[in-house]
Amino acid sequence: MKKINCPDFGVRDTFDSCIQSYKVKSKKREYKSCRPELIAAEDLYIRRKKSESLSFISKSQRVVGTIGKSQMEILYNRLKNKRNSDCRQLYDSLFNLAPHNICPLCGNNQATTIDHYLPKSKFAKYIITPINLVPCCHRCNNIKDHRSAGTAAKELLHPYFDDISSYKWLNAEIIKTSPPSAKYDIVDKEETD
């Protein structure tokens, strides 16, 4: 995994862009009622990730009032599908965070999709939160699927927050056989502290 820069915009920006051109005034008003909740959720996400405890964020398909997962997915689709708009520019700028358009998770394939670090199927409040939207390849996105960690120890590395470039996590030992072979071991964190 390669650390990449965090988006320089937040959920205020994605939310406002997504509802800006909403034509149905009653629906737009309904969406606006959840804006403070989304902003508070983004702040919680940042605090929890800095303390390595995203796994403690409660799963919920409800945001506030009548706004839930399906309504937030509508906003996400506006973010991702709206051509030549502020929405699409924000979505495209997420891809620009992956250096040379390479997936930061595997470091091999092109970043062609966006992964919801906290899955949209379980965390409705984070469906359009930029720091939860990670550019990656289809393969990595499919492997992760809708899984989320149940404990802090099982949390996946997060490309916006975790930098393991100087962390020794793998040992390799060359075994003198014919032909030579190698034995690999994962280094336990306690061994390096």
Instruction: Express each pLDDT in 17-37 by its tens digit.
Output: 999 888 888 888 899 999 999
Helices 69-81 and 86-95, axial angle in degrees (round to 10) = 80
The reported pLDDT for the residue numbered 159 is 95
Tokens representing 136?
Answer: 């990656």
pLDDT band for position 149 (50/70/90)?
A: confident
Q: What is the pLDDT of residues 89-145, one digit of tens each?
A: 999 999 999 999 999 999 999 999 999 999 999 999 999 999 999 999 999 999 988
Three-state SS at 152: helix
Question: First CA to last CA across the chain, in angstroms?
Answer: 21
* Residues sharing a CB contact under 8 Å with residue 21, sequence separation 6 or more, in sequence order: 85
